[in-house]
Amino acid sequence: EGNPGSDVSCLGGNLVITAPAVKGSQDPNVAIVSVGADGVFTTSFSFIHPKLERDKKVLQWSCDESYCARLLPDGNLVILAGGDVGGPVLVELKMDKPICGFEFASRGPKGNFKARIAVFVADSRDDLQRVIGPAEVTIFELVTSGASGPLMAQERAKAPLASGQMADLMWNYSGTALLAHSQTEVDESGQSYYGGSRLVLVSNDGEFVKDLTAAEEVNGGTGGSVQAVQWSPVR
């Protein structure tokens, strides 16, 4: 089931190759290929990720590749040294529900933090697939207590989404604001056969949170489904 895939880290130092997991096999289906200064490619780390969904991100590096976030099969997200993904866990981002998606900010830090990352957890549903708890986006900053202190994750912002089983997390150019475009397989309002969606804008410090789809509904619109959204790539 599914197709092989690949992804490249921000500075091109690491290539992630994925393939569907084979039932009963102990062969790794995720491999990290590192590119050395001499241009030689070597497999630096590989592991098994069962039930790997197509296009699902399980690894991402920060913009300077100092850190790597790895999504575990149980839905926990751990932060590792960017050059030692098979090494010890530096910090774990703890959530009440399994993490479904994550995204490092696209720009380097301006301040006393090392990196900024957003995580998404899906809504909660009953046996009839009715939403009984909202989805949520949380923004963390990775910080240290001093020059050589341990890495810590500080929660900076949290934004609820009325519903959402998956989401595209999109940082703006400067890494100061995030668009969370969540989607559901079923539109509970009955307006769309293909499911519903929400679009929330949140600042990195949590001072500004706005559900843009709710604003449309308040102003007399029908809400409906957000088909596509994109930041300016340069400002």
How does pLDDT run across 159-184, given as a tens digit for each residue?
999 889 999 999 999 999 999 999 88
pLDDT of residue 113: 87
pLDDT band at 204 (very low <50, low <70, confident <90, very high): very high
Per the listing, tokens 């491999």 go with 31
> What is the Cα–Cα distance from 61 to 55, expressed in whole angstroms?
16
Q: Between the ranges 4-18, 113-127, 137-151, where is the mean pLDDT highest?
A: 113-127
Question: What pLDDT does 221 receive?
Answer: 47
Token look-up 């200064």 returns 37
**43 C-beta neighbours (distance < 10 Å), count:** 12
Q: What is the pTM assigned to this prediction?
A: 0.88
User: How many C-beta atoms lie closer than 10 Å to residue 19's C-beta?
Assistant: 17
